[in-house]
Structure 1
Amino acid sequence: MSWTLTAALSAAVLPPLALALALPAAPAAAQAPARQTASFETDRAGILAMAGNYKVRFDMQEATAWRGDYTPIDRKISGGYESVRVIEDSGRRIVLQHLLVVTIDGAAHVIKHWRQDWEYEPARVLGYDGQGAWTWKDVPEAQRKGAWSQTVWQVDDSPRYAGWGIWETVGGVRRWRSSWTWRPLARRDAVRGPVYDRYLSINRHQPTPTGWVHWQDNTKMGLFAGKLEPVVQEYVLNTYTRFDGYEVKAADDYWAATKGYWAAVRAEWDRVGAAKKGIRVAEEAQAGTVISARLLELADAVQAGKTAEAAAIAEARKLIDGATR
């Protein structure tokens, strides 16, 4: 598989940022009764239920302009097939890896997609600060009880965004809602060079009878005369519908061949995050981090038997350490 295809589906560009902004308090912080009655096992079941095989619909729409000189872009709808696998479950921590399966010239290709890590009652999360930087944000102690954090990672396992919140049932619908989270631009926006350069977002994950949905409320923000101002509101609804009618085996074969390599890559990002008190790495619009393409290319070489896993891991560690500061 060409790394250019993989890189094209990575998401982020790192804009300049004058201010380091901490994650605000969770919207559900005041809901003590819901927090007190939340079932740990029910929460776990909701997270684990996101694993499976899916037909995915991505529906993105800029709706409300917050500046008089801005015209919202046209709605964009796309889709694909995605396998979501549980790659870690230690009780209070669950890790889900997404694998996108696409068909090119009649053959199935796998693109290692995003990853979501869930942690119960976290003390801190790795939040986006802008300017190629993610730093540790303390979760206020009063907001930890019954809460789960969700940290989302990019295709090369570099960080993207993190927030926390509680699982609750309202009106008969189960959902998890995040705190306010800062996020770098997704590739779909970054490649256009828009006037906004980051998102301030709330995310919701909700099980459905046929799968689950990921709903995003994104305020697209820009720097104007050194001050952050809202530009436009975007609503994103990603719908995951259980479906086995695609090349599921291709996703599982890819993961079986590369999971050792990617475990080492995750461990190296974790080491850097701890040793350097966060992660600072340059990014580019087309491919995510400046090392993303090579990290993904190494995985493809391992799967194809062209590069030994140990050699690929050694190069990946060197790349990550050298690119971060």
Structure 2
Amino acid sequence: MNFKNLLTGAFLAATCMGSYAQKSVKQDREAIKEMCGCFEVTFKYTETFAPEIDYEKHYDYNASALEWAELIKDEKDELSIQHLLVINDTTVIKHWRQDWLYENTKRYDFNHDNQWTFVEMPKNEVKGQWTQNVYQVDDSPRYSGSATWFHADGRHFWDDVASSPLPRREYSKRSDYNVMMRGNFVEITDEGWLHEQDNKKVIREDGKEDVLLVQEKGYNIYKKVADEKCKVAKEWWAANKEFWSKVRAKWSEVYGRDKDLSLEKEVEGQALFMKLFPMDTSASQGEIDKIIEEYVIEG
């Protein structure tokens, strides 16, 4: 093959790879957006294996909820979805948020005891990947992981392991472990989407290897229903979104410092969400910044 043919072959290969990458990113974005809408959610968890024979298994956890997931940012390399719980068709509670960032190099890994480690990943390690950043109800950090979306044989899924604080269903009830290693498997289904989990509840201390307390299997099943069922949540978000935009703006500034982060669990006997939730929606950026900064411990 002559030099001209070599160049032509290389150009065609690069073009095909570029077209495939564009197609894949488009499929990734479409899959992520499928997690938006109104869902009836079923939560199921059961502990499965403990290395110590005298470990006493905790009761299974089963719950259900109605949840609205609103797309609040839709950019080429970033999508953000705000989740809202609907209680008795009348009450709305701000729930978790998930941000998806394409080929993102910066994130915060949970360490333990309200501490997050700033991590900067090499570009070649995140090529083609999406980072999922999950946030608490007050938009403080929860957990983060980076992996590739797969689209094959009619399936669309993303799979990662991330270190996180105790889940909300246990953090006020248990103190026998302090880190959950989350095996996060997200798959888009015909009826909605599935968050399947293979979790490890571990005890983590500085300078020591993690100690496994027990393993756990979890299924969060999101079944899409008519958006009309979540009308009250859509209306609530329309009335409150500007306030929470200011909260996110402050957290973006904090995360943008690119430093390890520790947070106070309580200030004046109150967790952060207890101060933010009752605030007037017309609160200024300065008022919101002041409250959040009281909980931030850098380094």
Q: Same fold (TM over 0.5)?
A: yes
User: What is the CA–CA distance in structure 2 between the aligned matches of 1:315 and 1:278, rounded to whole Å?
Assistant: 24
Query: 1:128 aligns to what?
Result: 110
1:154-185: per-residue Cα shift (whole Å, max 9, x none)?
0000000000100113554221112x311000
| Residue aligning to 2:166 | 185
2:187 counterpart residue number: 206
Equivalences for residues 198-237 of structure 1 within 5 A: 198-223=179-204, 227-237=209-219
Deviation by residue 1:252-295 (Cα, 9 ceiling, x = unmatched): 111111111101101101111223724321226xx9x8211111
Greater length-normalized contact order (CA 8 Å, ≥ 6 residues apart): 1
**Structure 2 residue corresponding to 1:77, chosen from 62, 68, 73:** 62
Amino acid in the other structure paired with 1:323: Y
Supply the distance in 2 between the matched residues of 1:196 and 1:49 (Cα, whole angstroms). 34
> Where do 4+ consecutive residues of structure 1 move more than 3 Å?
35-38, 169-172, 223-227
The 1:229–1:171 alpha-carbon spacing in structure 2 relative to 1, beyond 3 Å, is: farther
Name whichever of 207-216 and 180-189 sits farther off. Answer: 180-189
- Secondary structure of the residue aligned to 2:278 is helix
CA contact (8 A) 1:38 1:167 kept: no
Gaps spanning 5+ residues in structure 2: where?
Answer: 1-19
8 Å CA contact 1:66–1:232 kept in 2: the answer is yes
Contact preservation (8 Å) 2:134, 2:142: yes
Distance of aligned partners of 1:78 and 1:206 in 2 relative to their CA distance in 1, 3 Å threshold? same
Instruction: Tell me the CA shift for residue 247 of structure 1.
Output: 4.5
Inter-partner Cα distance in structure 2 for 1:223 and 1:69: 20
Distance 1:140-1:215 versus aligned 2 partners, 3 A rule: farther
Alpha-carbon distance change, 256 to 72 in structure 1, aligned in 2, over 3 angstroms: same
Q: Deviations over 1:19-42 (max 9, x none)?
A: xxxxxxxxxxxxxxxx97971100
* In 1: Cα distance, 2:260 partner to 2:234 partner: 32
What is aligned with 1:310? 283
Match of 1:96 in 2: 81
Whose Rg is larger? 2
The residue type paired with residue 181 of structure 1 is A
What is the letter of the counterpart of residue 172 of structure 2?
V
* Cα distance in 1 between the residues matched to 2:255 and 2:61: 35
**Are 2:48 and 1:63 equivalent residues in the alignment?**
yes
TM-score, normalised by the number of residues in structure 1: 0.79
Q: How many percent identity over aligned positions? A: 32
Matches within 5 A, 1:1-325: 39-103=24-88, 108-169=90-151, 172-178=154-160, 180-223=161-204, 227-244=209-226, 247-275=229-257, 277-283=259-265, 290-298=271-279, 301-302=280-281, 309-311=282-284, 313-325=285-297
Instruction: Give the Cα separation in 2 of the matches to 1:264 and 1:245.
Output: 27
For 2:261 and 2:92, how far apart are their aligned partners in 1?
27
Distance 2:278 2:232 in 1: 17
**Secondary structure at 2:48 match in 1:** strand
Judge conservation of contact 1:125–1:162 (CA < 8 Å) in 2.
yes
One-letter amino acid of the structure 2 residue matched with residue 67 of structure 1: E
- Return the alpha-carbon distance in structure 2 between the equivalents of residues 69 and 140 of structure 1: 43
2:67 & 2:42 partners in 1: Cα distance?
A: 10
